[in-house]
């Protein structure tokens, strides 16, 4: 019975946790006038942690990636869903200039190499 309750409440709890985390970001990094600039988050993190900008950008990207990947890891066992969520979030971080483009390209190439047998099987007609 407890297992059924956990299965039924797992998704809403994780959704509320992710929504709460995303709602906190503008409040924490807003300036004195209440304006929020998403591109200034790594700058604010770098000044508050007293680190350089580049590690702060990577840290912000990994925090955002983990906010979306951990619920996906808990909700499904499909490896392709995890890859899609991870690449989507890293692509968003790359568009915000938080994540370096060259590192995103290397990660995408590694994922392509990981799934190369499955892709060639689908193109060659072997099926799934």
- Tens of pLDDT, residues 41-94: 888 888 888 999 999 999 889 888 888 888 778 778 888 888 888 999 999 999
Report residue 4 as tokens. 């059924």
Higher-pLDDT residue of 58 and 128 is 58
> pLDDT-derived band of residue 1, with 50, 70 and 90 as boundaries?
very low
The predicted model scores a pTM of: 0.68
**The token pair that represents 59 in the structure block:** 């840290």
Percent of the chain with pLDDT over 90: 19
Distance CA 12, CA 71 (A): 11
Quote the pLDDT of residue 52. Answer: 93
Half-sphere exposure of 11 (CA within 13 A, CB side): 5
């Amino acid at each position: 019975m407890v297992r059924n309750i956990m299965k039924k409440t797992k998704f809403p709890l994780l959704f509320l946790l992710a929504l709460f985390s995303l709602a906190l970001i503008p409040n924490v990094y807003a300036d004195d006038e209440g304006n929020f600039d998403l591109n200034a988050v790594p700058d604010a993190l770098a000044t508050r942690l007293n680190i350089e900008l580049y590690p702060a950008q990577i840290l912000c990207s990994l925090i955002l990636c983990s906010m979306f990947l951990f619920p996906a890891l808990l909700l499904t066992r499909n490896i392709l869903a995890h890859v899609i969520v991870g690449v989507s979030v890293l692509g968003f971080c790359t568009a915000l200039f938080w994540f370096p483009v060259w590192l995103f390209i290397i990660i995408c190439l590694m994922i392509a190499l990981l799934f190369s047998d499955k892709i060639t099987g689908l193109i060659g007609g072997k099926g799934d």
